[in-house]
Structure 1
Amino acid sequence: MRSWEKIELVIATSWQPNERDFLRRLKIEPHGIGALFFRDAFACLFSDSINAKREFEQYYSVEYGTLKRYLDGRYGIVMGDDDLEKENIFLCTWLSSALDRHYDDSQFENVMKCIRDLESENESQT
């Protein structure tokens, strides 16, 4: 991890991030002003984040041996086995204004519920 990077949030999910499904679940019109607001949220959580599981598999599996050791050694992150088994582990280095919990109208909880719901949908389809 570069010295300037700080992990703001970790998301472990087997849902394959899809902006259209994300906006649909949040009941956001894809061409409205809300879409601009929540596209930034999607970007910080998925597009601009580090997919640590993919990074480990591509570059660090020999050096660290296990994903658990990699996350702890490189990022100082300790995760349970259930989360380690998810297809994706996203390390978010920034959060959009929609997710900033310092504001009264933060959408953080709504967005996290959306991701949990999409994860549940994904699990029921497999």
Structure 2
Amino acid sequence: MGLTILAAGTSIPDLITSVIVAKKGFGDMAVSSSVGSNIFDITVGLPIPWLLYWAVFQEPISVDSAGMVCSIFLLFIMLMAVIITIAVNKWRMNKLLGLIMLFLYLVFEVLSVLLALKIIICPVEV
């Protein structure tokens, strides 16, 4: 749960630059920046420390996350909802679209915390 707060704190500079770019009329750049930075964090930011840990200690990394499969599925559904919402809005950014994205983010965060605390049990485990 602390990592969620830390992740939000490290994303604030991305948020500020995305807002500035969107206000200048480049909404597509703002959206692609927010999606791209998260993809970079997942594909580079996670594996490098794990690789370094393995190189030093020669032990496999155990990722123990309650509901990881459900979180990944939920994240995919949220991504599809964002793309559909942007397409319905004719690829234009406005305050309603921003509120919808904020709502989807809050739903994802609440469900992820409930899964992590095992208040909601994911039917599929890895």
Superposed pair shares fold, TM > 0.5: no
Structure whose residues are more often helix by fraction? 2
Comparing both structures, which one devotes a greater share of its residues to strand? 1
Structure having greater relative contact order (Cα 8 Å, sep ≥ 6): 1
TM, length-normalised to structure 1: 0.31
Q: TM-score, normalised by structure 2?
A: 0.31
Query: Which protein shows a greater Rg?
Result: 2
